[in-house]
Amino acid sequence: MFRSGFLVRASHTLLTWVITLILFLHNTDLRRCEERGELLLPALFFLLVVLSVLLYFAVSLMDPGFVLSDTAQGVQASSEEMESMIPQSSPRLRRCGYCLLQQPMRAKHCQTCKRCVRRFDHHCPWIENCVGERNHRWFVVYLLVQLLALLWALHIALSGISPGATWELWFRANGFLLAALGVVGVFSVVVVLLLGCHLYLVSINSTTWEFMSWHRISYLKNCRDEENPFDRGIFCNLWDFFCICRTVVWEQVYQRNTPNPV
């Protein structure tokens, strides 16, 4: 936390609370609600911001699903026991060329974290952590909560824009709100795009890495573009992603859903 990711996390937290403070101090809907003694909406907005910050730290500090060793890959089995669980006709476990550990299917070595990650999605510089099997669902939940907070902040900032006799006076009166509006607007677009992309990939049971490198991945390159060996349908994919909290032996799923496995 106090190494490479400290500056990113501190900057994100500081920016979040600076913008929140601007929205509370200017003559916005929040400030007017406080003046009238109506504290429900300000309290809900504050709690939403707190929740988004807590989720941000949870996702950024969580183990994304690192492959720890050949004998501890989330199922506490030896290398021989692990391979015995995998059908003989499915692709074999391969050794990572960097950390020399056996990689389960859908795992990938992250050059930034210098670790192999189960069901690797991508390394996110925003959280300075990988998104993998253990924290992917929480990353999506965080994006949803963050989007709600950003859209609400956008509405609050717009409600505080006041008129001015001249452009100079208008900019002086609304300068901080305009800056907050710009930052919130940019982040809203980014989060909408990220959330949309991740929900689509989750609905087809794919990852960012698999989607971008389909024809270079050994267990996918011989499948046609419309054939995803891990796809169980939209509703089952969403249920598995958000509700099943266990390590999945993807080799078994691959074997069941692939008529002619590699």
Domains of the chain, by residue range, sit at: 1-261
**For residue 83, pLDDT beyond 90:** no
In this predicted structure, what is the pLDDT of residue 75? 42
80 vs 259 pLDDT, higher one:
259
Q: Model confidence over 98-111: pLDDT tens digits?
A: 888 888 999 999 99
Cα 96–Cα 241–Cα 194 angle in degrees, nearest 5? 80
What band does 154 get if pLDDT is binned at 50, 70 and 90? very high
Q: Model confidence over 98-152: pLDDT tens digits?
A: 888 888 999 999 999 889 999 999 999 999 999 999 999 999 999 999 999 999 9
Q: Please state at what angle helix 167-203 crosses helix 234-243, rounded to 10 degrees.
A: 110
**For residue 85, pLDDT beyond 60:** no
Q: State pTM to two decimals.
A: 0.86
What band does 63 get if pLDDT is binned at 50, 70 and 90? very high
Q: State the alpha helices, DSSP H only, in the chain.
A: 6-25, 29-35, 40-61, 79-84, 136-159, 167-203, 208-212, 234-243, 250-257
What band does 92 get if pLDDT is binned at 50, 70 and 90? low
Short-list 106, 136, 146, CA closest to 242: 136
Residue numbers annotated as active site? 124
Short-list 256, 261, 253, 258, CA closest to 104: 253
Average pLDDT of the residues in 4-16: 90
Cβ burial of 18 (10 Å; 0-12, 13-18, 19+) is middle
How far apart are the two ends of the chain, measured CA to CA in Å?
Answer: 41
In this predicted structure, what is the pLDDT of residue 195? 97
Task: Note whether 91 and 218 are within 8 A (CB).
Answer: yes
If you compute the radius of gyration of the chain from its CA atoms, what whole number of angstroms results?
Answer: 23
Q: From CA 119, how far away is CA 133, in angstroms rounded?
A: 5
Six-digit token string for 37 = 């003694």
What band does 69 get if pLDDT is binned at 50, 70 and 90? confident
